[in-house]
Structure 1
Amino acid sequence: MASSADKTAILSNLSLGKITEYQENYAPELLQGVPRSLNREEIQLQHDLPFTGVDRWTGYELSWLNPKGKPQIAILQCEVPASSSHLIESKSFKLYLNSFNQSHFDSLEQVQRTIQQDLSLCANEQVMVKLVSPREFNTLVMSPLHAHSIDELDIDINEYQLNPALLTVEEQWIEETLCSDLLKSNCLITNQPDWGSVLIRYAGKKIHHESLLRYLISFRKHNEFHEQCVERIFCDIMQHCSPQHLTVYARYTRRGGLDINPFRSNFEQIYPEFRLARQ
C-alpha cells in the first residue's frame, strides 16, 4: 500500500498544475501515467476488481504533417482498459498530442500505430486507438443518454461535500436506467471544475431517486480524477444499495480538446460511441 508521502511524490511529479512549454515535435516522453492503486486503496478495491470497463477518450485537436509538409487532421478515439495498472493523466495526454503538430508521418495509419504503442506503454496494457478521418466525420453520432433523468426532482440540497451515506433504497425490486447532468467534481491537483453527465443502470432494490441525486450533487466540492470518481460511485452504490447488476458510465465535457468517459460495469460492455451536446 502506498503511503501518503508516496502518493504526494507521485502526484507532485505530474505536469498537471505546472507551467509547461508546448512541444510541436513528436515527444512520447510527455505522457504520464498515474497508478490506479492510489485511489483504489482508499475505496478498498483489491486486485480482483468488482467491475470491468474502459476509459474512453476522444481527442478533437490532433494534427500532423504528411511527407510533403501538408497538415493533416483526425479525431482520436481510444479506450484504456480499467484493468491497466495506470490511467493516462489528461494534461500530459494533451501535451503529447500537441507534439504531433510539426511532426511528419507517412500516413494516418502510422500515426494511429504510434499513438497506440505509446499509450499502451504508459497504461501498461494494450490500448485501443482509432483515428477518424475528416471524410468519416459525418458518421459520428450526437445523442442524449438513453435513461430517465432525475434532474427535475424538486428537492432541497444542502450537502456539497461527498457523502455516500445519502444513498438509500426501497424494498421494491426493479431494473432501471437513470441519468443526471448535474455531476461536478474538481481536479485533484488544480481544483478546476470537471463537468459531466452520468448514467446509472442497475437491477436490485429500487434506489431512492432523491437520495441518488443528493449523492451525485455531493461530489460538487470533491477533488478526484474523473476515472476515480466513477469507480467511487460504483463502489458506493454497491456498498449502500447492493444491486445485483450495476453499470456506471460518465461522460465529461472536454478540456483542452479532450473528453474522458469512464465506463464501469459488473454485467455488460461499453455502449456504441456517441457524444453529448455538452461535449
Structure 2
Amino acid sequence: MSSLNDNTATGSVLGQSVAYADRYDPGLLFPIPRAPNRAALGIGETLPFHGVDVWNAYELSWLDPRGKPEVAIAEFRVPANSPAIIESKSFKLYLNSFNRERLQDAAALRAHLVCDLSAASGADVGVVLTVPERFANASIGEPDGESIDAQALDFDDYGPPDADLLRRSDEATDVCESLVSNLLKSNCPVTGQPDWASVQIRYEGARIDRAGLLRYLVSFREHAEFHEHCVERIFMDLMRRCAPTALSVYARYTRRGGLDINPWRSTLPGNPANLRGARQ
C-alpha cells in the first residue's frame, strides 16, 4: 500500500495502462492526502463540516471455497475526516484482485474490505454488501428538492468556478429549502475525462439567488478536480458568499468502471441516504 507522505495523483495508476492482478492484493490501493487540496480552499485541520464519501461498487466478485464465482454490490462509507481519499482506478484494480480469490463467504470478503480500506484512508470505513438474493430490493430515486435547471439563462462561463456568481436574494425572509441541479460536470485532474453529477443543496437562512447558483454550478464544467474536492469547494463558497445558518451539499456522480462516488458535506452531523439515481 502506498505511503501517504509522497502520494500525488500523477504518481498513481490513474490514466496508465496496467495489467489486472489475478490474486488479492491490498497493495494496489493508492491513497491521496486530502490536506493539500483543502489548504487551497482555506480548510485547516479542524474541519468546518461533517461529511462522508459514499462509494458504490457494482462489479465485485470472488470465488467460494469450491471455486464457484460469487457476486455482490458493495457500499463503502469513507469519513470526510479521514486523512486520505482513495484514488478511484486503484480502488477498481483492488476490487478486481478478488476475482480469482477463494474466500469462505461474503463475511470473509467484507472483513478484508474493512481492514484494507480503513488502512488506506486512515479512518474506519463502513462496508455493506448486498448479495443477489437482495438485488430486487434495490430502488432508484432522485435527490429530493426543487430543480433550478429550467431557468432561461444565457451562459458563457465554463470555468474556473466563480464564487462571485453566488449571492443572496434581495428577499428579506429566511427560508429552509432543498435545491437540485443535474448540470454539474467537472473533469478528472489527471486524465481529463468528464465527471457527471446531480447535486443537492439543502440550506437554511437568507434565500440564495437561483440564477447565480446555477451559473456557479455550470462554471465547474471545464474545472479539473476530484469529486470530493469539488463538493468541498461548493460547500465553502456557499458558506462564505451566502452565509446560510445550515448547509448540506450532496453530489451523486455517475459511475465509471463500476464505481460511483457520492460526497456529502454538512454543517450538521448525520449520514445521508444512499439512493441510486437514474443516471447511476
TM-score greater than 0.5 by the shorter chain: yes
Deviation at 1:7, TM superposition (A): 10
Deviation at 1:8, TM superposition (A): 9.3
Aligned residue runs from structure 1 range 115-126, under 5 A: 115-126=113-124
Deviation at 1:273, TM superposition (A): 2.1
Residue of structure 1 in register with 2:12 after alignment:
14
Residue of structure 2 in register with 1:274 after alignment:
275
User: Normalising to structure 2: TM-score of the pair?
Assistant: 0.95
Aligned residue runs from structure 1 range 52-201, under 5 A: 52-161=50-159, 162-170=161-169, 171-201=172-202
Residue of structure 2 in register with 1:240 after alignment:
241
Q: Give CA deviations for 1:233-274 in whole Å, capped at 9, x if unaligned.
A: 000000100001000000000000000000100114133221
Deviation at 1:9, TM superposition (A): 6.6
**SS state at 1:87 partner:** strand
Aligned residue runs from structure 1 range 193-212, under 5 A: 193-212=194-213
Please tell me the residue identity of whatever aligns with 2:251: A
Q: Give CA deviations for 1:155-180 in whole Å, capped at 9, x if unaligned.
A: 11110011111001124311110000
Residue of structure 1 in register with 2:252 after alignment:
251
**Contact 2:264–2:272 under 8 Å retained in 1:** no
Separation in structure 2 between the aligned mates of residue 130 and residue 117 of structure 1, nearest angstrom: 13
Unaligned runs of 5+ in 2: none
Residue of structure 1 in register with 2:29 after alignment:
31
Separation in structure 2 between the aligned mates of residue 262 and residue 33 of structure 1, nearest angstrom: 16
Deviation at 1:11, TM superposition (A): 2.5
Please tell me the residue identity of whatever aligns with 2:45: H
Unaligned runs of 5+ in 1: 1-5
> How many residue pairs get matched?
274
Please tell me the residue identity of whatever aligns with 2:279: R
**SS state at 2:192 partner:** coil
Structure 1 window deviating more from structure 2 (162-171 vs 105-114): it is 162-171
Separation in structure 1 between the aligned mates of residue 273 and residue 89 of structure 2, nearest angstrom: 26
Separation in structure 2 between the aligned mates of residue 7 and residue 176 of structure 1, nearest angstrom: 41
Deviation at 1:88, TM superposition (A): 1.1
Please tell me the residue identity of whatever aligns with 1:232: R
User: Normalising to structure 1: TM-score of the pair?
Assistant: 0.96
Q: Runs of 4+ in structure 1 displaced over 3 angstroms?
A: 6-9
Separation in structure 1 between the aligned mates of residue 196 and residue 94 of structure 2, nearest angstrom: 23
Separation in structure 2 between the aligned mates of residue 157 and residue 240 of structure 1, nearest angstrom: 21
Structure 1 window deviating more from structure 2 (231-240 vs 138-147): it is 138-147
Deviation at 1:141, TM superposition (A): 1.9
Separation in structure 2 between the aligned mates of residue 37 and residue 172 of structure 1, nearest angstrom: 37
Deviation at 1:140, TM superposition (A): 1.5
Q: Percent identity?
A: 47
**TM-aligned CA distance change 1:172 to 1:158, over 3 Å:** farther
**Contact 1:141–1:273 under 8 Å retained in 2:** no
**TM-aligned CA distance change 1:261 to 1:9, over 3 Å:** closer
**TM-aligned CA distance change 1:206 to 1:244, over 3 Å:** same
